[in-house]
Chains A and B, each alone.
Chain A
Amino acid sequence: MKTYLLIGLLISAIGLSGCATSGMEAEGKPTDDPKYAKHLVIHNEALAAKIIIQEMHTRTARSGVLEVSVVLANLTSTDKNIQYRFSWYDADNFEVEQGSRAWTPVILHGKSKTSMQALAPNPTVTTYKVNVKELK
């Protein structure tokens, strides 16, 4: 009985370390084609095979602030618990309101899409980055 428990614990430990904390990172600007992120960096191939960043839309709201909508698609048929975070940069590539954004958890149902929307903290923002990773 004890050995079974130990083996079970070992397997779960291996399983947990498998889902790495890193994920995907995409950068976008208002001028970009919505179908392609300017830079898409994948730190976790296993996650990128299951979840893709399908579209990245940007518009300048009437108040002059950048509005972003990023569409995530779940390629698998099982629900996925993920988290995302936006970060904002001005024309000189300085991060705006550094660290003010928190990771947001979201459930992506099997074979479905969901859009992550966010508003830049102020009108100086010209570029944004979005990070996506699995929720442990």
Chain B
Amino acid sequence: MKNLNRVGIIAISTLLTLGLSGCASTKIGYGDAGAVETTTTDFGSTDLQMIAGKMVDSLLTFPPIVDITNKRRPVMFVDTIKNKTSEHIDTESVTDTISSKILRSGKFRFVDMTKVEAIQKQMAYQNESGMVKKSSAMNMGRQVGAEYMMYGNLSSIVKRAGNSKDVYYKFTLKVMHVESGIVEWSDEKEIRKSAKKSFFGS
């Protein structure tokens, strides 16, 4: 009798668990990648998109840059964007978006400094391994040097008081002429985000 009771309890509890897990479902859907995202005050996708949009528009409309890029497509390389904020931010992702947009505008061309080693390896394979037909091997010493360098900073000021938080981001981007060291263009984008915890929702 005791055993039967135990079996009954186990059976009921199993059924209950199954029933409950049936109710708790996760809904999965696709969202708009370009939608404004305000989940937290941390650096987010909207910030990245706003920064990239502003920087590309600013660079491509700056009159001296228009003059430089009118007849030819100068070669540029992207140096790092220093992350001076207290957050972990993938600044390479920001520069990737910016350089893609600039490249697709047809005004500049890029050399990718992150792929130098891979190219060296491939060149060595083609020219020194003896595996590749001489006539089809890429020649050494024919790469084009970058004329301009793109670099910048991302900094933030965070303030907290009671239930409210205010974050200010400043993204500065510059383009320097490699040979002369002259900064040809510079611009910054400021973003202010604030969060306030309130008792009544909304």
Contacts and interface: CB of A to CB of B under 8 A. Distances in A.
Interface string A89-133: 000000001011111110000000000011101110000000000
Contact of B70 (A63, A121, A122): A63
A103 B36 contact: yes
Interface residues of B, number: 26
B196 to A, nearest CB: 14
B107 to A, nearest CB: 7
B57 A118 contact: yes
Contacts of B66: 61-63
A98 B45 CA distance: 18
B129 interface: no
Contacts of A83: 36
A63 B34 contact: no
Interface size class, chain A: 20 to 34
A104 B50 contact: yes
Interface in B20-47: 32-36, 45-46
Contact of B104 (A62, A118, A122): A122
Given A9-B201, A63-B60, A102-B53, 8 more contacts: A12-B201, A63-B69, A85-B34, A102-B33, A102-B34, A102-B50, A119-B57, A121-B105
Interface of A: 8-9, 12, 61-63, 65, 67, 83, 85, 97, 99-105, 117-119, 121-123, 135
